[in-house]
């Protein structure tokens, strides 16, 4: 199940990634627009979205869609695509290679298939519900780090002063208590890295579904746990997120539950 959706999504992401890779090396700053003071969009975001939906709508015309650039379409269907065409736009514009293409499929509001593609490393993270998580064609699993002081944690935040303040406090608390805590600037890729065991957790106040949907399934299918700050299972309606292995999760929740 969902093998066709996976195949077409990967084809779409690879074509989008080829375009982004070409543009990355010649991109000139200055042509960006702002949806809000900290939410940037470039001509590349829209072009990548067009490339992706060219594939998805051709093969799955009845599916609904939700994208960062175009919002929610008017279709109501049991199946809907959730797309972030360029997650890490700020990084892209300053020639930082940490950016990704993200596509997830929801069935009755539950994530059932997901991909996150990192064009410059040619790394395709993908998962189908109950089938495991993979990087390219190799199965991946969450890390086994159990002690907070041995962990490498990512943090990120949604838009708005409240989320910024929470993120600063999270950084301040965990920095001396972990090996390191960092913000990479591409949420779906940060979740993919947790799924692959490259980092041990992601803590995020705020966030939008297009930033999170693909990565949530990747982590879960890799054996991890994804909840809100109260410890309830993350859903598309959740306001915040913690993704980690089960050994670290309770240790992280002890602090972040104050922000729930």
**CATH, residue 109:** 3.30.540.10
User: Same domain, yes or no, for 82 and 32?
Assistant: yes
- Give the pLDDT score at 41: 75
Cα dist from 85 to 128, 171, 254, whole Å: 20, 28, 34
State which residues form the domain around 168.
148-259
- The mean pLDDT of the chain is 93
* pLDDT value at 196 more than 70: yes
Tens digit of each residue's pLDDT (9 = 90 or more) over 140-158: 999 999 999 999 999 999 9
Tens digit of each residue's pLDDT (9 = 90 or more) over 40-64: 677 888 999 999 999 999 999 999 9
Q: Is 131 helix (H, G, I), strand (E, B) or coil?
A: coil
Tabulate helix, strand, coil % of the chain (nearest 5).
Answer: 40, 30, 35
Average pLDDT, integer, range 210-239: 96
* pLDDT value at 28 more than 80: no
User: Same domain, yes or no, for 175 and 220?
Assistant: yes
- Give the pLDDT score at 144: 96
- Give the pLDDT score at 36: 59
User: Same domain, yes or no, for 124 and 7?
Assistant: yes
Domain count, the chain: 2
- 89 touches 45 (CB < 8 A): yes
Look at residues 137, 141, 125, 154 and name the one whose alpha carbon lies nearest to residue 17.
125
- 114 touches 215 (CB < 8 A): yes
**CATH, residue 155:** 3.40.190.80
- Percent above pLDDT 90 for the chain: 82
Cα dist from 74 to 58, 61, 62, 88, whole Å: 17, 13, 11, 27
- Give the pLDDT score at 169: 97
Cα dist from 139 to 12, 26, 116, 186, 221, whole Å: 22, 34, 14, 22, 10
User: Same domain, yes or no, for 133 and 10?
Assistant: yes
User: Same domain, yes or no, for 154 and 250?
Assistant: yes
* pLDDT value at 37 more than 90: no
Tally Cβ neighbours within 10 Å of residue 232.
10
| Stretch (H or E) spanning 11 | helix 3-24
User: Same domain, yes or no, for 114 and 189?
Assistant: no
User: Same domain, yes or no, for 34 and 120?
Assistant: yes
Burial class (CB in 10 A: 0-12, 13-18, 19+), 243: buried
Q: Is pLDDT larger for residue 239 or for residue 71?
A: 239
User: Same domain, yes or no, for 9 and 133?
Assistant: yes
Instruction: Pick the last residue of a domain from 109, 139, 169.
Output: 139
Instruction: Pick the last residue of a domain from 115, 139, 163.
Output: 139
Q: How far apart are CA 176 and CA 173, in angstroms?
A: 7
User: Same domain, yes or no, for 180 and 94?
Assistant: no
Half-sphere exposure of 89 (CA within 13 A, CB side): 22
User: Same domain, yes or no, for 128 and 153?
Assistant: no
Q: Tokens 């994530």 label which residue?
A: 111
Q: How far apart are CA 22 and CA 20, in angstroms?
A: 5
**In sequence order, what are the residues at sequence separation of 6 or more whose Cβ sits closer than 8 angstroms to the Cβ of residue 5?**
60, 105, 113
- 66 touches 80 (CB < 8 A): yes
Q: How far apart are CA 139 and CA 137, in angstroms?
A: 7
Instruction: Pick the last residue of a domain from 139, 158, 179.
Output: 139
The one-character DSSP state at 160 is: S
Average pLDDT, integer, range 234-257: 95
- Give the pLDDT score at 67: 84
Average pLDDT, integer, range 149-177: 95
* pLDDT value at 71 more than 80: no
Look up residue 178 and give its two tokens. 């972990």
Q: What sign does the CA torsion over 95, 100, 101, 106 have?
A: negative
């Amino acid at each position: 199940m969902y093998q066709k959706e996976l195949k077409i999504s990967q084809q779409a992401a690879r074509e989008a990634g080829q375009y982004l890779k070409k543009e990355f090396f010649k991109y000139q700053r200055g042509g960006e627009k702002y949806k809000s003071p900290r939410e940037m969009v470039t001509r590349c975001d829209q072009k990548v979205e067009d490339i992706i939906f060219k594939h998805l709508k051709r093969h799955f015309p009845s599916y609904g869609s939700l994208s960062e650039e175009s919002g929610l379409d008017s279709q109501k269907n049991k199946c809907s695509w959730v797309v972030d065409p360029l997650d890490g736009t700020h990084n892209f514009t300053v020639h930082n290679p940490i950016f990704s293409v993200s596509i997830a499929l929801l069935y009755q509001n539950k994530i059932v298939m997901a991909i996150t593609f990192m064009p410059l490393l040619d790394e395709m993270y993908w998962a189908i519900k109950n089938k495991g998580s993979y990087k390219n064609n190799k199965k991946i699993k969450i890390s086994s780090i159990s002690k907070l002081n041995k962990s490498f944690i990512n943090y990120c935040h949604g838009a708005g002063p409240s989320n910024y303040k929470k993120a600063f406090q999270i950084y301040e608390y965990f920095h001396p208590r972990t090996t390191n805590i960092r913000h990479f600037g591409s949420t779906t890729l940060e979740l993919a890295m947790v799924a692959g065991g490259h980092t041990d957790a992601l803590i995020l106040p705020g966030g939008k579904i297009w930033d999170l949907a693909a990565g949530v399934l990747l982590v879960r299918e890799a054996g991890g746990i994804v909840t809100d700050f109260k410890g309830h299972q993350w859903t598309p309606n959740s306001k915040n997120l913690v993704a980690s292995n089960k050994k670290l999760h309770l240790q992280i929740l002890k602090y972040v539950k104050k922000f729930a």
